[in-house]
A and B are shown apart, each in its own frame.
Chain A
Amino acid sequence: MALDVHQTSAGDGEVAAISDKRPEKTFIDKLMSRPESGVIIAAIAVYLFFSAFAPHFFSERVSSNILLSSSTLGLIAVGVAVLMIAGQFDLSVGSVYGLSAGLVILSINAGIPAAVVLPLILVVGLIIGAINGYLVTKLGIHSLIITLGGLMFYRGVLLAITEGFPIRLQTPDAFLRAFDFNWHGIPGPFFWFLLLVVIFAFVLTCTRFGNWLFATGGSPEAARGMGVPSERVQITAFALTSMMACLAGYVSVARFSSVDALRGQGFELEAVLAVVVGGASLNGGYGSIAGAALGVLIIGMIQQGLLLMGISVYWYQAGIGLLLIVAAVVNQRVRIRNGV
């Protein structure tokens, strides 16, 4: 937090004229004034790099793969971004995602129509998140502890009910299949991702709830003093995050018709990575949904790009680790520049 006090030796009224003593905004200032500025540049750089060095990077199939592999992580990352802006973490999203996929398959196999399972699994997500939120806000236990417990617990439940073996849908379901369309090479799950990015970007920037989310993340105490129900806002953010993880689970069942017990393992950290690369602050109160979405796409591009270049898949992890460090440094510069 940099305080910007350009005291000039002008006469009276100088204290009041806040904007006068600040230098004019240059083009670069305007360009860099948004949280997602860094990630846009990074996305372009990564895209150009692989365009130059990875064969077939432009092919429809590769693009389609990138979009598809980004979609489930993207849905999760949108929720994680909302929660991080509200000043909290959720490490349980990967497990909740896996468990929801398992529950969806078991329910449909038990004869419940997929159209009914969708609202049910979303409600399950809301409840899981609300419990996390309640424990964190009302009892004042750190979100890392509560959701680390959640990570173990929900993964453990999934392992126990599947006994470690993959489970699959027994009969195809028309409603479920409608989720998995393909439009000019763009996979269906990507549209869900895109739709939710648009919805949440709107909610965050244009609604009262969005205002409250940023305020709560920026300073829960101050927000409360100004009449924002901070605790309710954070509980809602937790609920939305788990709901998004469950939605991702549903969409993945529509795509793959099966789930293994380790589905989504590590997603909680990849989602945090994408959100931070997208310009959000770990301290809350700052960030963007569009940035998080681009962060997810960068991860997808690196994954596919390295594959196409014939580089061992082990380098993928090294690659995104490096990406996070570089992005964190760049975003820090952007934030200092903007005085945040």
Chain B
Amino acid sequence: MSNLRTTPLLELKNISKSFGRVHSLRGINMDVRPGEVLGLLGDNGAGKSTLIKVFAGVHQPTGGQILWNGEQTILDTPRAAMAKGISVVYQDLGIIPLLSIYRNFFLGREEDVSVKLPGFMYLKKREMRETARKALSQLGIHITDVDLTVARLSGGERQSIAIARAVHFQSKLLILDEPTAALSLKETAKVLSYVREAKRQGVGVVLITHNIAHAYEVCDRFTVLYHGRVAETTERENVTEQELANLINTGTRASQKLAV
């Protein structure tokens, strides 16, 4: 259940983004609250990817405001977004395949596990391995050999490591881009259980997906994008799976015989 009275973690006000004459986002208003799972739905080209990149600090919006904990903010680089506690797990770019598990785990966040010396940072590799192993097992992922390269893991294992990483570094907002797209049924169940675990720990989660069934299973609210605008934002109780499908396809709840 989402509590309506708390300040939203992240709020977008009238956000728009154009690439030249292509208007990808046209006045998006949405918010994410702590401890909720928000489903961000939309067909291909609806503007989902552009919107995540605005969250992640990769794209700068051409108009509108971003509020973080009620205060206006600018997310100008991925590092700036990360520093605020926003973690994005990308569909295919969540992790570096050639790097070992523990190096991936700390990538971009090496400060806590290194000795700062003039001119460089020395990595405490033993501590990195230990911490990574512990953090993974807290999410129910038991790996003894964290020196394995990620290339040797399956899609679900990669996703789980990316999620464990985001949870461990106490992200306040976790954005998952199609986390279940390439996974087996069993792996999907596992990933969705990580999402619930993250929510239980008070993390705000944005789940981007095509799969209405998966979204309906874990999300508290839905924001549906249609042609760069918000078609509707609704609580789960007030919408059926069929209506969500209609919203994605047509931008309205009414069926136009287009629904899947």
Complex contacts, A5 vs chain B, CB 8 Å: 154
Asked whether any CB of chain B lies closer than 8 Å to the CB of A163, the reply is: no
Residues of A within 8 A of B82 (CB): 227
Q: Which residues of A contact B122 (CB under 8 A)?
A: 206-207
Q: Chain B interface (Cβ within 8 Å of chain A)? A: 56, 58, 77-79, 82, 88, 90, 93-99, 103, 106-110, 114, 120-123, 125, 140-145, 148-149, 151-157, 160, 186-187, 190
Q: Which of B107, B120, B154 contacts A226 (CB 8 A)?
A: B107
Q: Which residues of A contact B152 (CB under 8 A)?
A: 2-4, 22, 338-339
Distance in angstroms between the alpha carbons of A16 and B138 in the assembled complex: 11
Within the complex, the shortest CB–CB distance from A144 to chain B, in Å, comes to: 22
Is B123 within 8 A of A18, CB to CB? no
| Sampled A-B contacts (22; CB under 8 Å) | A2-B152, A16-B141, A17-B142, A18-B141, A18-B142, A22-B148, A207-B122, A208-B120, A209-B121, A211-B99, A211-B110, A215-B103, A219-B93, A223-B96, A224-B78, A225-B93, A227-B107, A227-B108, A338-B152, A340-B97, A340-B98, A340-B149
The 0/1 profile, CB within 8 Å of B marked 1, for residues 1-34 of chain A is 1111100000001111111101000000000000
Within the complex, the shortest CB–CB distance from A140 to chain B, in Å, comes to 16
Contact of B123 among A17, A208, A215 (CB under 8 A): A208
Could you list 20 further interchain pairs (A-B, Cβ under 8 angstroms) beyond the known A3-B152, A227-B78, A228-B108? A15-B187, A16-B141, A16-B190, A18-B148, A207-B114, A207-B122, A211-B107, A212-B107, A214-B98, A215-B107, A218-B99, A219-B97, A222-B96, A223-B107, A224-B78, A225-B78, A226-B78, A227-B108, A285-B98, A340-B98
Instruction: Tell me what chain A mostly uses at the interface: helix, strand, loop, or mixed.
Output: loop
Assembly CA distance A247 to B160 (angstroms): 45
Smallest Cβ distance from B184 to chain A, in angstroms? 8
Quick one: which of B93, B106, B149 contacts A221, CB cutoff 8 A? Answer: B93
| Cβ of A203 under 8 Å from chain B | yes
Evaluate contact between B96 and A218: CB separation under 8 angstroms: yes
Per the 8 Å Cβ criterion, residues 198-239 of A in contact with B are 203, 206-212, 214-215, 217-219, 221-229
* Given A17-B142, A206-B122, A211-B123, CB of A222 within 8 Å of CB of B94: yes
Contact of B186 among A15, A19, A20 (CB under 8 A): A15
A204 to chain B, nearest CB (A): 11
Shortest beta-carbon distance from B219 to chain A in Å: 22
A228 to B82, CA, bound (A): 11
Q: How far is the CB of B36 from chain A (nearest CB, A)?
A: 24
Please measure, in the bound complex, the distance between the C-alpha atom of A73 and the C-alpha atom of B187, giving whole angstroms.
Answer: 50
Query: Does A89 touch B at the CB level, under 8 Å?
Result: no
